[in-house]
Structure 1
Amino acid sequence: MRETQCPSESWCDSFTMADQVPSIELGNGGNMPYIGLGTFKTKDCEMRESLRVALECGYRHVDTATFYQNEDAIGEVLQEWLASGKVTREEVFITTKLPRIGNRAGDVARFLQKSLEKLRVSYVDLYLFHHPVGAIGKDDDDLSPVDSEGNSINDPDTDLESVWKAIEEQVDAGRARNIGLSNFNIVQIERILKVCRIRPANLQVEVHAYHQQRDLRALCHKHGISVCAFGPLGAPYMADGAGERPVLLEHPKVVSIANRLARTPAQVLLRFLIQLGMAVIPKSSNPDRIRQNFQVFDFELSTEDMSSLEDLDCGKEGKIFTMEFSKSHPECPF
């Protein structure tokens, strides 16, 4: 994996929406644009409109998952754009993910094929092992299985290594160009590295200024694994996630930098992570915010600004996505 240089001022001066977004070169081939459209909790008409807006303003990286239940809507829009010639398949980087109920070696190929059919493509650019905690659903549509008391029906026999080997086979079959992990911790990543034939190309994990995951990022850097940050704005749609801390977008340091640079707080937070070498997938269904979030390559944060934002790190206490369903499972990563 090789990261492209973060945009310099001279590069920024010539950047336009039509230019190619700088990207991270993945070890298994292909390039992941530094910014993509996050689609968690976005469905149906809202999803279709958000993706159309994103593609119009230059996004070429789309992140989804079986669990999000929006692959059909994304596939409709992608088909429109591909059929019209507005983009080619090679210009769009598509990520999707194996659901927890598919965390068995024999289920991987079936779930990826279902995703490809919904997305209306023959391959994805990145297929992620979405979560190390497996679950037992009553059928392929029971994506969050719970018992009569509302407790997650987890699969205690989840075998990470055998699932990874089945994911590797999807590269051999041509259904995935790159494969990676999501929500895995250091110990679990090291376990995969010991048995892998194809090294994970990417780790998608919660990273934002409150939760900077420095040790995890250092491990990924050591092994040539790129990092993609989900929740890069601190998940403002989970308003109580920050606890007693201010919502990240409203933190005085973030707002002060944004005001001085005549930028939005979101642009500052995204630029911060990009300058740390990570891809980001901000989620929004607001057309103006989708456009603003993309406009992060025509300015740079100073060394002082970067240091100020790095000081916001709260370590484990800054985590917002607690994923309570996983707490009783032997592979709980948190």
Structure 2
Amino acid sequence: MATHNDKTLSLETRLTLNDNNLMPQFGLGTWRSEPGKVQSIVKEAILNRGYRLIDGAWIYQNENEVGNGIHEALEQSQGKIKREDLFITTKLWNQHHVPEDVEWALRDSLEKLRLDYVDLYLIHWPVAFKKITENFWSQKEGEKTRLYAENVTLADTWKAMEKLVDLKLTRSIGVSNFNQSQINEILKIARIKPSVNQIELHPYFNQHDMREYCAKNNIIITSYSPLSNLKRENESDDASALFNPVIQEIAKSKNKSTAQIIIRWHLQNGLVVIPKTVT
């Protein structure tokens, strides 16, 4: 995994993916963003804050707002910011893993985003759901068991993902929330290797083994919930690394915030980082 000197890091820093496309190392996540505010946040991030990477997903149900924010920023920049300056990521949802649905799913996202292509398209999770309802989260049998699709393999879905590159609907493809064995399953048949694995990663969950594995296979990692502020059931607010006394002491000695120290840790370890808009 690449590492960087402090002096080389900025919003302009980009990492080279295994397909030679360049990905900004610091971006804006749109998960759990408040409806009605996403458009203005995305526009502000691009137009006035220097962000060039915007990370979204079909299941976030805010791609229309993300697209509106992107287009407002481009228009108001008066040509200073162009589409090719941006790096837009979105993701294939679980109920669209059947190969014949994969292209439709990306085209649906592109229509909402009002874009001709995305820069990176990820398989959001390594599981396929039956497409039995548009209530995306409630595909359940009884109370607890999701209705998983049968006879849909990761290899089948990946081959359909590769066709999206051929169609120039996305420049790069990758995965999200995959473990090593699941990535290996894809690598065995891949014509185009996954360029990115987006996973939860932060000081309390540093994913050391996965980082070594991805470095060996030339796969860039994107860290979501990089501040470890993905609050789980029964967790207190101070479970976040933002309240870690060691990190707080480092931040104090550097005259920085704890969030800045944690993000710097990600960047110096060659990770792409996408703090959520709600943080």
Q: TM-score, normalised by structure 1?
A: 0.77
User: Which one of the candidate residues 12, 19, 24 is aligned to 1:21?
Assistant: 12
Find the counterpart in structure 2 of residue 249 from structure 1.
242
CA distance in 2, matches of 1:47, 1:135: 28
How far apart are 1:237 and its partner, in Å?
A: 4.6
Hey, what's the Cα distance between the residues in 2 that align with 1:137 and 1:203? 25
Counterpart amino acid of residue 46 in structure 1: K
Task: Determine the C-alpha separation between the residues in 2 that align with 1:187 and 1:131.
Answer: 14
The 1-side partners of 2:124 and 2:67 are apart by: 20
In the alignment, what sits opposite 2:227?
A: 233
What is the DSSP-based 3-state SS (H/G/I as helix, E as strand, rest coil) of the residue aligned with 1:45? coil
User: 2:267, 2:213 → 1: CA distance?
Assistant: 18
Partners of 1:236 and 1:110 in 2: CA distance: 31
CA distance in 2, matches of 1:51, 1:227: 23
Q: Please name the residue that 1:31 is paired with.
A: 22
Alignment partner, residue 202 of structure 2: 208
Name the counterpart of 2:106.
Answer: 112
CA distance in 2, matches of 1:110, 1:171: 14
2:176 aligned partner: 182
Matching residue's letter, 1:137: K
Rate the CA distance shift 1:242–1:32 in 2: closer, same or farther, 3 A.
farther
Paired residues in the alignment total 275
Q: Distance in 2 between matches of 1:194 and 1:169?
A: 17
Alignment match of 1:266 (pick from 259, 262, 265): 259
Q: Determine if contact 1:43/1:73 at 8 Å carries over to the other structure.
A: no
Go from structure 1 to structure 2 and tell me whether the alpha carbon gap of 1:91 and 1:240 turns closer, same or farther (over 3 Å shift).
farther
Quote the Cα distance in structure 2 between the aligned partners of 1:237 and 1:175. 34
Of the candidates 49, 63, 67, which is equivalent to residue 55 of structure 2? 63
Task: Name the counterpart of 1:161.
Answer: 155
Identity of aligned residues (%): 35
- The answer to which of 266-275 and 23-32 deviates more is 23-32
Any conservation in 1 of the 2:43–2:72 contact (CA below 8 Å)?
no
CA–CA distance in 1 between the matches of 2:254 and 2:233? 26
Give me the whole-angstrom Cα distance separating, in 2, the residues matched to 1:236 and 1:224: 27
Please tell me the residue identity of whatever aligns with 1:268: I
- Tell me whether 1:276 sits opposite 2:274 in the alignment: no
SS of alignment partner, residue 67 of structure 1: helix
Cα distance in 2 for partners of 1:74, 1:199 equals 28
Are 1:82 and 2:80 matched, yes or no? no
CA distance in 1 between counterparts of 2:17 and 2:168 reads 16
* Structure 2 CA distance for aligned equivalents of residues 147 and 75 of structure 1: 35
Q: What is the correspondence of 1:98-177 to structure 2 with a 5 Å cutoff?
A: 98-139=92-133, 141-144=134-137, 145-149=139-143, 151-177=145-171
Preserved contact between residue 100 and residue 131 of structure 1 (Cα < 8 Å): yes
Could you tell me whether the CA contact under 8 Å between 2:38 and 2:69 is conserved in 1?
no
Q: Which sections of structure 1, spanning at least 5 residues, go unmatched?
A: 290-334
Say if 1:277 and 1:284 are closer, same or farther in 2 by CA, change over 3 A.
Answer: same
Q: Could you tell me how far apart the structure 2 residues matched to 1:41 and 1:91 are? A: 25
Offset at residue 46 of structure 1 (A):
1.7
Q: CA deviation at 1:138?
A: 2.3
* Gap change, CA 1:30 and 1:129, over 3 Å in 2: same
* Alpha-carbon RMSD: 2.1
Structure 1 residue 214 displacement after superposition: 1.1
Could you say what secondary structure the match of 1:266 adopts?
helix
Report runs of 4+ in structure 1 exceeding 4 Å deviation. Answer: 236-243
